[in-house]
């Protein structure tokens, strides 16, 4: 009788283990639209922080969800179809690559965006390389 | 051979667009003029250059792609600087991305990969000619380890735009990237790196 229970126990452990393993393996990418922003910042202030001390700002913001408000200067499409928004400065501003599934579902919002207008985006900060890289991102307003 | 250092060209470039707004307008003008065709002077930049990392395994192919790399080319000397943020590599599975950043590349400690090199036998004509094969020799810095490498590539005009590409293999172990023995046998010994940049001219 005891052996029977032991076998059942081992089988249960294996099934749970396999389940967790498969779940981890097939874990989907983070859905930015559902994530809560850890920092809410003004675009110019964020650029200032990276310009002043790149390493400290990278430690603080890299891989974190940011909500950034600033002036839209460029709206573009990359050759792979990704929508690209640049805030504040074309060369040294904040480059946001929009989440492809969010983009597909919100084409009207993207089309309505105009250069020179204020915009608020939410996305994962990837660090600094000439400009601040944020991807994937979505438009909040 | 003197290999130029990104850090010397990079701040210089930043200063050049910072000087004043007029210069910036000029720069944008230059970008517009660029659509007419590439001219062989000054420097070229690509801000959304493509770089991918590929490895074949029996279970699944691993492909990481980024289109956020930045590269600058000196049109006088044929020197090329290339930088990529490790965290911008995107993989099919979230778990692959996590392992890539946390276990292998240690992106928090070494956020950028850099390459500073020079096109062998460079001449300005290459910038106005159809796509041709080139060789680039320079220093590749990945995971905090620097190695001198020579890689094949192509450079030339494609639909009126200056396009540079390169495809080469790297061995992670050479850059101090430890791969656990459990998966070591399943991953190819070498990883294939593919780069593509569409350059636009800037400055003088």
pLDDT at position B22 is: 53
For chain A, the 3-state helix, strand and coil shares in percent, each to the nearest 5, are 40, 35, 25
Rounded to a whole number, what is the distance in Å from the CA of B133 to chain A's nearest CA?
Answer: 23
Report whether CATH 2.170.130.30 matches the domain A32-139. no
Question: How much is the ipTM here?
Answer: 0.82
Judge if the upstream peptide bond of residue A136 is cis by omega within 30 degrees of 0: yes
Mean pLDDT value of segment A101-127: 91
Mean pLDDT value of segment B100-105: 89
pLDDT at position B3 is: 46
Of the candidates B178, B173, B172, B153, the residue with the CA atom closest to the CA atom of residue B163: B153
Give chain B's domain count.
1
Alpha helices in B52-186 (DSSP H): 94-99, 181-184
Residue of A nearest to B15 (CA): A92
Does B179 have pLDDT greater than 60? yes
The answer to whether B179 faces chain A, any CB pair under 8 Å, is: no
Nearest to B85 among A24, A84, A129 (CB): A129
**In chain B, what percentage of residues exceed pLDDT 70?**
78
pLDDT at position B8 is: 55
Of the candidates A130, A128, A135, the residue with the CA atom closest to the CA atom of residue A57: A128
CA dist A131 and B5 (Å) reads 19
Asked whether residue B155 is domain-assigned, the answer is yes
| CATH number (domain holding residue B78) | 2.40.128.110
pLDDT at position A1 is: 72
CA dist A140 and A123 (Å) reads 10
**In chain B, what percentage of residues exceed pLDDT 90?**
50
pTM for the structure as a whole: 0.80
Answer with the residue of higher pLDDT: B182 or B117. B117
Report phi then psi at B51, rounded to 5: -140, 135
Report phi then psi at A22, rounded to 5: -65, -40
Domain of residue B96 covers 6-202
CA dist A65 and A88 (Å) reads 19
Confidence of residue A92 (pLDDT cuts 50, 70, 90): confident
Confidence of residue B17 (pLDDT cuts 50, 70, 90): low
pLDDT at position B40 is: 42
Asked whether residue B186 is domain-assigned, the answer is yes
Nearest to B83 among A29, A82, A129 (CB): A129
* Residues of chain B contacting residue A127, judged by C-beta atoms under 8 Å apart: 85, 87-88, 111
Nearest to A129 among B93, B97, B112 (CB): B112
Handedness of CA B92, B97, B103, B105 (dihedral sign): positive
Lowest model confidence (mean pLDDT) among A44-58, B50-64, B172-186 = B172-186
Asked whether residue B25 is domain-assigned, the answer is yes
Domain boundaries defined on chain A: 1-30, 32-139
Pairing of strands B79-85, B90-91: unpaired
Asked whether residue B1 is domain-assigned, the answer is no
**In chain A, what percentage of residues exceed pLDDT 70?**
100
Of the candidates B49, B56, B63, B66, the residue with the CA atom closest to the CA atom of residue B166: B49
């Amino acid at each position: 009788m005891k052996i029977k229970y032991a076998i059942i126990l081992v089988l249960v452990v294996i099934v749970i283990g396999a389940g967790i393993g498969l779940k981890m393996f097939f874990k989907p990418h983070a859905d930015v639209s559902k994530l809560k922003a850890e920092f809410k910042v003004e675009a110019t202030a964020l650029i200032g922080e990276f310009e002043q001390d790149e390493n400290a700002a990278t430690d603080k913001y890299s891989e974190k969800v940011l909500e950034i408000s600033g002036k839209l200067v460029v709206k573009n499409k990359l050759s792979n179809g990704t929508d690209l928004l640049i805030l504040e400065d074309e060369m040294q501003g904040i480059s946001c690559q929009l989440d492809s599934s969010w983009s597909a579902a919100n084409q009207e919002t993207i089309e309505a965006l105009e250069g020179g207008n204020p915009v608020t985006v939410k996305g994962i900060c990837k660090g600094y390389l000439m400009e601040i890289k944020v991807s994937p991102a979505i438009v909040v307003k | 051979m003197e290999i130029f250092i990104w850090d010397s060209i990079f701040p210089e470039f930043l200063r050049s667009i910072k000087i004043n707004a007029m210069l910036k307008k000029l720069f944008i003008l230059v970008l517009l003029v660029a659509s007419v065709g590439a001219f062989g002077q000054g420097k070229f930049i690509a801000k959304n250059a493509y770089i991918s990392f590929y490895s074949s395994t029996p279970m699944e192919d691993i492909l990481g792609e980024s289109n956020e790399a930045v590269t600058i080319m000196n049109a006088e000397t044929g020197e090329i600087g290339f930088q990529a943020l490790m965290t911008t590599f995107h993989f099919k599975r979230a778990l692959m991305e996590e392992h890539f950043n946390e276990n292998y590349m240690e992106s928090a400690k070494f956020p950028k990969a850099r390459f500073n090199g020079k096109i062998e036998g460079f001449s300005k004509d290459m910038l106005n000619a159809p796509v041709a094969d080139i060789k680039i020799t320079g220093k590749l810095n990945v995971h905090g380890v620097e190695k001198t490498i020579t890689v094949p590539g192509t450079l030339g005009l494609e639909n009126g735009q200056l396009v540079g590409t390169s495809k080469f293999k790297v061995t992670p172990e050479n850059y101090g990237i430890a791969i656990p023995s459990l998966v070591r046998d399943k991953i190819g010994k070498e990883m294939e790196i593919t780069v593509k940049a569409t350059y636009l001219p800037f400055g003088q």
